[in-house]
């Protein structure tokens, strides 16, 4: 069972991980066992159990128990929104979303770098925070940041994710070209099939753009919400891996 929901999950000791496994597998009876009973069942100390609760961000053993129970009792038959996602993808195979999720899942010790400018930077910030919450090593920069942020970390980057409504933003194109030269995998989300970034990317995803010629984003447009919707669909696939 994946534990990505929990805080600091990657910082647990072996003993703490064993206790968490025990709590997950025996959730209906651990409250009766209490801290001492759980510690005894795992041949460890009560301080290990309490330290686990603190690391996971809970005030104590009882809160940890109820939060785990809540996590376990979440409906497993989540709504599959793949059809909705496909309706806002423009000529992009659903397999691209699966590939995107696989790349996130198989991330190595290097960083995922996220870059966007203008309104796209808002969506990029969301993606950055979401990946951080999943325990992924990420960096982000926008048009206002020095190019040195990207250049100085090239050796530590395995994947570049860029967002560009037009697919022709020069600052983004420059990052994509540089990443390609360094054999860094480029995942892009743009608003059209025919654009420079789309052609340069190893995994281009195209979201529906209601106003392709609206460079100033003056009109009502679902492109940016679509980006986040599709990204959440990718995370849904990631959760199933």
**Mean pLDDT on 58-75:** 82
110 and 207 share a domain?
yes
- For the chain, what is the mean pLDDT? 88
How do residues 26-41 score in pLDDT, each as one tens digit? Answer: 988 888 899 999 999 9
Question: How many structural domains does the chain have?
Answer: 2
Question: Are residues 32 and 104 both part of a single domain?
Answer: no
What CATH number corresponds to the domain at position 144? 3.40.50.10490
The percent of residues above 90 in pLDDT, for the chain, comes to 54
Non-local CB neighbours of 108 within 8 Å, separated by 6+ positions: 158
Q: What is the DSSP letter of 75?
A: -
The tally of CA atoms less than 13 A away on the side-chain side of residue 204 is: 20
Residues 53 and 127 in one domain: no
Residues 67 and 90 in one domain: no
Is 138 found in the same domain as 93? yes
- Across 142-154, b (16+ Cβ under 10 Å) vs e yields beeeeeeebeeee
pLDDT band at 217; cut points 50, 70, 90: confident
Tell which of 55, 73, 91 closes a domain.
Answer: 73
In this structure, the answer to whether residues 66 and 26 fall within a common structural domain is yes
Domain co-membership, 39 together with 117: no
Average pLDDT over residues 164-184: 94
155 and 60 share a domain?
no
Q: Are 44 and 105 found together in one domain?
A: no
Could you give the CA distance from residue 199 to residue 197 in angstroms, rounded to a whole number? 5
Q: Do both 223 and 134 map to the same domain?
A: yes
Cα dihedral 87, 90, 96, 100, rounded to 10, equals -90
State the pLDDT at residue 81. 64
Final residue before a domain boundary, out of 21, 49, 73: 73
Cβ–Cβ under 8 Å, residues 154 and 178: yes
CATH of the domain at 13: 1.10.10.10
Q: Report the predicted TM-score, pTM, of the whole model to 2 decimal places.
A: 0.68
The verdict on 201 and 180 lying in the same domain is yes
- Tell whether 29 and 114 lie within a shared domain: no
Q: Is the pLDDT of residue 5 over 70?
A: no
Which of 57, 73, 89 is the last residue in one of the domains?
73
Q: How confident is the model at residue 100 (pLDDT cuts 50, 70, 90)?
A: very high
Query: What is the domain extent for residue 164?
Result: 81-239
């Amino acid at each position: 069972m994946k534990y990505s929901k929990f805080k600091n999950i990657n910082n647990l000791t072996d003993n703490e991980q064993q206790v968490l496994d025990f709590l997950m597998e025996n959730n209906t009876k651990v409250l009766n066992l209490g801290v001492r009973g759980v510690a005894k069942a795992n041949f460890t100390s009560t301080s290990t159990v309490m330290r686990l609760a603190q690391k996971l961000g809970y005030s104590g053993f009882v809160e940890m128990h109820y939060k785990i129970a809540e996590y376990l009792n979440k409906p497993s038959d989540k709504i599959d929104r793949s059809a909705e996602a496909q309706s806002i993808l423009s000529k992009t195979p659903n397999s691209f979303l699966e590939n995107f999720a696989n790349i996130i899942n198989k991330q190595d010790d290097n960083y995922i770098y996220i870059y966007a400018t203008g309104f796209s930077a808002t969506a990029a910030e969301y993606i950055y925070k979401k990946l951080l919450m999943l325990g992924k090593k990420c960096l982000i920069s926008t048009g206002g940041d020095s190019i040195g942020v990207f250049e100085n970390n090239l050796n530590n980057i395995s994947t570049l994710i860029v967002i560009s409504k037009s697919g022709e933003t020069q600052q983004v194109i420059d990052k994509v070209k540089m990443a390609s030269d360094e054999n860094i995998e480029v995942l892009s989300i743009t608003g059209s099939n025919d654009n420079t970034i789309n052609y340069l990317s190893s995994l281009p995803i195209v979201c529906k753009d209601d106003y392709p010629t609206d460079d100033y984003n003056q009109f009502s447009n679902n492109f940016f919400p679509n980006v986040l919707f599709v990204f959440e669909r990718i995370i849904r696939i990631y959760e199933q891996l």
